[in-house]
Structure 1
Amino acid sequence: MTDSIRTTAMNVPHAPNATNATRSHDDTASHGDRLSSNLTTFAAAVASFLAGMDVLIVNVALPTIAAELGGDMAVQQWVVDGYTLLFAALLLLAGSLTDRFGAKRLFLAGATLFGAASLFCSFAWSMAALVAGRCLLGVASALILPASMALINEANPNPRRRSWALALWGAGGASASAVGPLLGGLLTPIHWSLVFAINVPFCLMILAVAHWIKPSPNRAIRFDWLGQALSLIGLTALVAGIIEVGSIGFAAPVTLALLAAGLIALVAFLLSQKKVAAPMMPLNLFRVRGMQVALQIGFIMIFNWYGMVFICTMFLQNELHMSPFAAGLVFVPSAFVTIIGNLAGGQIINARGSKFSITLGLAIMIVGFLIEFLTPAPIPVWVIATGLSIVGFGAAITTPSAAGVVLKSVDSAQAGIASAMFNTFRQVGGAIGVAVFGVIATFLPSLTLALRSVFIASAILLAYVLVFELLRWRDC
């Protein structure tokens, strides 16, 4: 069966037979099954919230952490990218491990490591120790995120329930993007270590419902250790090289060596995927139009969002001299809007399909970025808050749709690796976004100009994805 036929067969929630199957399944499902499904979805949404929050909660605390532990712009970028980089680089391996050992095992192992690494970060005695702890958090997030998507797929076999579950999962991640800076602003004045310690209760919450999560199937698959090594080396060197452009300059030998090593390793990684028996990134998935759309959306959306939040928090505190708490309050409206948008997103998908939902979400995000870009200087704080809310609402509609496209584009045997590819592209986009926009902020004369550059660049990139989606993909 071809990928296009498989996609068509899996996306039939509106057909009469699918509707009857939906009602039949809902009628015959036992109370225990429904409880297990609901708690599994809840745990997956909490995990999605944690993974998203930990990228951005630290941004507001960075000036305070740097004042106590030391560190210039490059070191502060590593506090963020130490997490996102390991997160991104290990997602594909985690996807394979999810398929091999079962989503439940990987999910619970990741939650346990996440809690332990959070405690380590909260007691960090130096920037080096903090970066190391953030790397451990990245490993833990890589374990839980693809497993959480796979668990949703297993716990919600009905397409309509799965759409709703994915909306809740997306609400966790998207709301965390807004809640993270707010919590960072609330906790940093007490002590910066609390922005990491706050993770522990959420991890305990996940482990508390582990009993109700049904065991996951496992499959005998081989691991692509060569591909994992090449991707890790390539991504680390490339992001390090981008960061060092802002720290020591593009022409510096170290910068050039890192960039060259990163590109060479990534090219070698792609070549290796054509030859190994069990590739960690099956290249045939790139031929599926739905996957093409979802992967581009995942990369560019998080590239824009992480880069914007990083520069925005720097702008609010360093240029406008706002306190961490006041800077965190700027993100409050978007926190509520993203939650509403994700819950509405599930309804829009069921009513109008993924293509309509993605088109609407991308268009809303472009409008939000353009409003902020076109506002005359100095940019008022209320405009920043409004723009963040508009962008967040569009992203909240788009994210569950893109995640659903990923699951519909592959069969269940590839759900783990496909989810890992989607989330890898998202986190790679986030790591590169922080690195690129951090470099832009270093070279531009003011953070105001850097923020404007983020706005217009983000609008242009999203416009490209929108055109690609409209012209080259049909929601079958």
Structure 2
Amino acid sequence: MSVSSVSKLSSNLTTAAAAVASFLAGMDVLIVNVALPSIAKELGGDMAVQQWVVDGYTLLFAALLLLAGSLADQFGAKRIFIIGAALFGAASLFCTFAWSMMALVAGRCILGIASALLLPASMSLINEASPNPRYRAWALALWGAGGASASAVGPLLGGLLTPIHWSLVFAVNVPFCLMILAVAPHIAASPKRATKFDWIGQVLALIGLSTLVAGIIQVGSAGITAPATLALLIIGLGALVAFGYSQAKVAYPMMPLSLFHVRGMQVALQIGFIMIFNWYGMVFICTMFLQNELHMKPFAAGLVFVPSAFVTIFGNLLGGRIVTARGSKFSITLGLAIMIAGFLFEFLTPQPIPVWIIATGLSVVGFGAAITTPAAAGVVLKSVDAAQAGIASAMFNTFRQVGGAIGVAVFGVVATFLPSLDLALRAVFLASALLLAYVLVFELLRWKDAAIAAVAAESVA
């Protein structure tokens, strides 16, 4: 076999392994939602504990993304990628045989750490294995499709496996991890770079996010005036304030505060946070509603999410064309408006909410999100210098994942204070529409301010 053939084979295998990793990281957020009622029946646990089964994963995933990206640069993306895949497989086996809810939550936290190692390293590997820009674009599209397809496969696979036994929603990860490890010897070695990292900021961010989310969840189970709740909220907010202060003082901040003054970053970060805040929180409550209130079987509940996933994949493909033809402002405005319409459509339906309304509304919201997300990501890259593109992209993805963790916590608390899951789901739909309306107004005003500033600058010149 010629050198070029070997290189092409290595590049294709690297892309395939990276796409599988992207699929795994996305699937593990959603596959567990369908299984939660069955898990709770066997292992016990109230709403708060079930929230931690989801948030144990998303929170560690979000909080460690920036650290994992730095580790991939310092020790080589291939090494971190292999460690992430091995840890993901081991944590999946641990969850498979979990003997209690606390053990399962611990396993989910380890899975979140593994995902944080996998995802940035997988993207770096594609960049290293694809020197040709055209091939790199195709490889990144395949990598993105892995994550997007997880939205369809996750709930559906969860619905198929849960009736056999809930543990299979974790065991199914193991063959994928073995596939990645089998391909690993064919992945080219990664370069190592000397990098500086903000360890103080990482520790403060992890403490702050973990205790804040724990405090929010405690509001639902113990009340906001309980000493434990107040302590967690105070520690969380205090640590996040200290984190913000440290970012202004350290030499190499993990989240440079200067980027928050950039108009495009302000818009994109709010869009990323609120969109995933709404989506993860809604999926969590919606799954509970379908199985606990409508008494649907896990497989049937999983099917409700499938149309939205396929619509989302189509929307991703269309979104790129809309950005190219009409620009980011038009795409973001259109996408947010579609999402608001989808949430209001679901909120205004008669009680109880019919299943077909939920499936249709989810599809409308997913379509709007698919148009908005590529445009918002593009705004991030256009708003900063090339030297800051990596950290800006990491901030965008971190805000998205943090939004998801807090969304599950907040909407789970809302559900505990309302008399029915139908009302809780309606509250989620209304709150989501209002939050997106705020983002839409903010986005339009920021672009208006930028246009006025540009006109003023031209008149002075």
Q: Would you say 1:321 and 2:295 are equivalent positions?
A: yes
Higher relative contact order (CA 8 A, sep 6+): 1
Q: Would you say 1:61 and 2:35 are equivalent positions?
A: yes
Could you say if the C-alpha distance between residues 152 and 400 of structure 1 is closer, same or farther in structure 2, counting changes exceeding 3 Å? farther
- How far apart are residue 364 of structure 1 and its match? 2.0
Of the three residues 104, 107, 111, the one matched with 1:130 is: 104
Of the three residues 297, 301, 321, the one matched with 2:271 is: 297
- How far apart are residue 409 of structure 1 and its match? 4.3
Distance, in Å, in 1 between the alignment partners of 2:11 and 2:377 is: 18
In the alignment, what sits opposite 1:226? Answer: 200
**Aligned-CA RMSD value:** 2.5
- How far apart are residue 31 of structure 1 and its match? 6.6
Could you say if the C-alpha distance between residues 350 and 157 of structure 1 is closer, same or farther in structure 2, counting changes exceeding 3 Å? farther
Q: Which amino acid aligns with 1:261?
A: I
Name stretches of at least 5 consecutive residues in structure 2 with no aligned partner: 455-461
Of the three residues 356, 364, 367, the one matched with 1:393 is: 367
Write out aligned runs for 1:17-36 (5 A): none
Residues 258-308 of structure 1: per-residue CA shift (max 9 Å, x gap): 100100000001101111112121222223333323222221111011000
Could you say if the C-alpha distance between residues 336 and 221 of structure 1 is closer, same or farther in structure 2, counting changes exceeding 3 Å? same
- How far apart are residue 403 of structure 1 and its match? 3.2
Could you say if the C-alpha distance between residues 463 and 85 of structure 1 is closer, same or farther in structure 2, counting changes exceeding 3 Å? same
Q: Would you say 1:307 and 2:281 are equivalent positions?
A: yes
Paired residues, number: 447
Q: Which amino acid aligns with 1:106?
A: I
Residues 164-197 of structure 1: per-residue CA shift (max 9 Å, x gap): 5554443333332343222111100011111011
Write out aligned runs for 1:58-457 (5 A): 58-154=32-128, 165-211=139-185, 213-410=187-384, 414-457=388-431
Q: Which amino acid aligns with 2:318?
A: A
Q: TM-score, normalised by structure 2?
A: 0.89
Distance, in Å, in 2 between the alignment partners of 1:349 and 1:207 is: 37
Q: Which amino acid aligns with 2:148?
A: A
- How far apart are residue 412 of structure 1 and its match? 5.7
- How far apart are residue 226 of structure 1 and its match? 1.3
Could you say if the C-alpha distance between residues 124 and 318 of structure 1 is closer, same or farther in structure 2, counting changes exceeding 3 Å? same
- How far apart are residue 455 of structure 1 and its match? 0.7
Residues 179-238 of structure 1: per-residue CA shift (max 9 Å, x gap): 322211110001111101111222233334435544444321222221111111111110
Could you say if the C-alpha distance between residues 172 and 80 of structure 1 is closer, same or farther in structure 2, counting changes exceeding 3 Å? same
Tell me, yes or no, if the aligned pair for 1:99 and 1:417 is still in contact at 8 Å: no
Could you say if the C-alpha distance between residues 258 and 296 of structure 1 is closer, same or farther in structure 2, counting changes exceeding 3 Å? same
Could you say if the C-alpha distance between residues 364 and 44 of structure 1 is closer, same or farther in structure 2, counting changes exceeding 3 Å? farther
- How far apart are residue 389 of structure 1 and its match? 1.2
Q: Which amino acid aligns with 2:22?
A: S
Could you say if the C-alpha distance between residues 349 and 41 of structure 1 is closer, same or farther in structure 2, counting changes exceeding 3 Å? farther
Report sequence identity in percent: 84
Distance, in Å, in 2 between the alignment partners of 1:211 and 1:409 is: 38
Distance, in Å, in 1 between the alignment partners of 2:20 and 2:316 is: 14
Q: Which amino acid aligns with 1:241?
A: G
Tell me, what secondary structure is at the counterpart of 1:200? helix
Could you say if the C-alpha distance between residues 394 and 274 of structure 1 is closer, same or farther in structure 2, counting changes exceeding 3 Å? same
Of the three residues 450, 458, 461, the one matched with 2:435 is: 461
Tell me, what secondary structure is at the counterpart of 2:64? helix
Could you say if the C-alpha distance between residues 451 and 178 of structure 1 is closer, same or farther in structure 2, counting changes exceeding 3 Å? farther
Q: Which amino acid aligns with 2:109?
A: C
Could you say if the C-alpha distance between residues 353 and 45 of structure 1 is closer, same or farther in structure 2, counting changes exceeding 3 Å? farther
Q: Which amino acid aligns with 2:196?
A: R
Tell me, what secondary structure is at the counterpart of 1:331? helix
Could you say if the C-alpha distance between residues 336 and 379 of structure 1 is closer, same or farther in structure 2, counting changes exceeding 3 Å? same
- How far apart are residue 161 of structure 1 and its match? 6.2
Q: Which stretch of the first structure deviates more once superposed, 335-344 or 127-136?
A: 335-344
Distance, in Å, in 2 between the alignment partners of 1:254 and 1:83 is: 23
Tell me, yes or no, if the aligned pair for 1:167 and 1:400 is still in contact at 8 Å: no
- How far apart are residue 58 of structure 1 and its match? 0.7
